[in-house]
Structure 1
Amino acid sequence: MTTANFVDRPATAPIGEDLRGRVAFVTGGTRGIGAAISRSLAWQGATVAAGYGSHTAHAEQFRADLAGELQGHAECSVHQGNVGLPDDCRRTINEVIEQHGRLDILINNAGINIDKIVLKMSDDDWMKVLAVNLSGAFFLTQAALKHMVERGSGRIVYVSSLAGEIGNIGQANYASSKSGLFGLTKTVAREAAFQLERAGKLTDTGLGITVNTVTPGYVATEMLASVPEKVIDKVKSSIPLRRLGRPDEIARVVHFLASDASSYITGQVWGVNGGIDM
């Protein structure tokens, strides 16, 4: 099985100016899909604040490596916190705003899984996954949205999962948490527009605040590195495009939803999965 070339693939987009002057906070932003998102936003000029839960040495190395790639084109910082704790969610949002002066883009990417069938899943297994994947996204959004409404613009993107759309054996907690992001997306999208209108900041020419979700399918990341080749082959055979996705392919869609070009798209769920759910 050859997945390393997907995991380690560098950003392929040329350095641009699409997000120059914007500040983006990417939770789980130093590994896998999150790292690809951080790179994509930074390569388009955004100041990127990458969140991480533990492994400070790895996070600092990621920051240093990204700074080296960018060669001064954009800034990058890293911020430690447990997304499963409401106070940490609020603290990291405030930390990013205090350090960089603003927050334009929130990418809710952090997630965990504790896989067991329903009959063997403990209370703790259920609560831990929901706390990070769904409640954490809510508390981060709550803190960021207040700032965005005050400024009159912003972008919020949730990274859900194919499992949230079709379910998966052994992932009742994970699938439920990722499915919950769909309802959160549509509700926050409506409320953001309502709040802007009430504040007199919803205009024909304004960028507004948009809220959307991306649902990756099977993506070649570190999580799949230990999966047997025959299992990967079976997965590929179920995908119309007959291959796994790459982290940078997810990142490009997130980047679009974070840009000015997506200002008329809100409350939507974008599948990036090779057609597996057709």
Structure 2
Amino acid sequence: MKVVELIKIVNQICPFEDAFEDDKVSLLIGAGTNTVSGVVVSHDLDEATLKYCIKNKINTVISYHPATYRQFENLNEDLMLSKISLNYYKENINVISIHTAQDVSNDGNADTLAKLFDLKNIKIFGITSEEKGVGRIGDINKVDSDSLRITIENKLSTKVVRTNQYFNNQKNIQSIAFVPGSGTQFLEEILGKVDVFITGDVSHHHFLLADEYQMGVVQVNHISTEIPGMKNFTDKISESLNTQITYLHNEYYE
């Protein structure tokens, strides 16, 4: 199988055209004419994944996070934004990034979170194209902040990093919103529309803004909200290729 054929299969699972306009997805390193000799799904392009590829003679990585947001032609050190990415190139490893295309796709990262938390009356926000969006709002059975914290940590296999002050006093939480990864750029879109917003990489400014509007905000580790959907993607690509594909991620950041 050629890389271009694999790209078509990946595109059927998470169409690249639905990614954010400024997000470079699809083939970032390598060439479509290259022959695929093994595939691995990895959350990040890190040293551990590179070593895994070399050890197992795998030459194609489907990565959630791209190492860079630029499309490369005639790749050289001056163009690279990280040394590790250059090493993938030097080892002739093809890299296909799915990033926000996977976030917004059917049964992608956002939909997987909605199912995991059994959201009802689901609405989409953070629109990318047509009806695709990176965020999900939905209703849940009424809980208080302590119960929701436990539920989040259990379902995402993580620990809550921190919350805003308002969240700690919430007794009647009936609606929550998610954005996989880092979603505070969409915070103002849902102010006053949901009881609690759950995402990663939350700044002090955003916590204060949520306090002002009496909305709880829960920050978890960045990849914790992405891992469930990526496991789902790995199952899909394994089925499409009729072989079990390995999914790699750094548990330290979970």
So what's the TM-score if we normalise by structure 2? 0.33
- Structure with larger Rg: 2
So what's the TM-score if we normalise by structure 1? 0.30
